[in-house]
Amino acid sequence: MKTATIPPLRVTPELRREAESVLREGESLSNFSEEALRKQIERRKIQNAFVARGLGSSELAKSTGHYASKDEVMGSLNAILDESRQGK
């Protein structure tokens, strides 16, 4: 597969120094930037999916007229939290 380049990124000297100060052994600024880009892409995909699920739930609630009460939601979240704590 052919590789492509990302446009150069202009940053302040301070930001460059900060980035260089956290590089790990053998890691280049290019490696660091690529990893940051990959993580941000994944984060955005997760955020987009979260928003889509929320909008879908909202539409379902509007169309059915069934809305969860605060107590139902909190009970469900507490059950998930309790289950998670027991698994540790």
H helices of the chain, where?
13-21, 29-64, 70-87
pLDDT of res. 12: 98
**Average of per-residue pLDDT across 75-79:** 96
Q: 47 lies in a domain?
A: yes
pTM given for the model: 0.73
Residue range of the domain that includes 18: 13-87
9-63 pLDDT, tens digit each: 999 999 999 999 999 999 999 999 999 999 999 999 999 999 999 999 999 999 9
Distance set, CA 76 to CA 2, 16, 20, 52, 88 (Å): 48, 45, 44, 20, 19
Q: 73 lies in a domain?
A: yes
Q: 5 lies in a domain?
A: no
Number of domains in the chain: 1
Spatial CB neighbours of 53, under 8 Å, sequence gap ≥ 6:
none
Q: 62 lies in a domain?
A: yes
Q: 1 lies in a domain?
A: no
Q: 3 lies in a domain?
A: no
Q: 30 lies in a domain?
A: yes
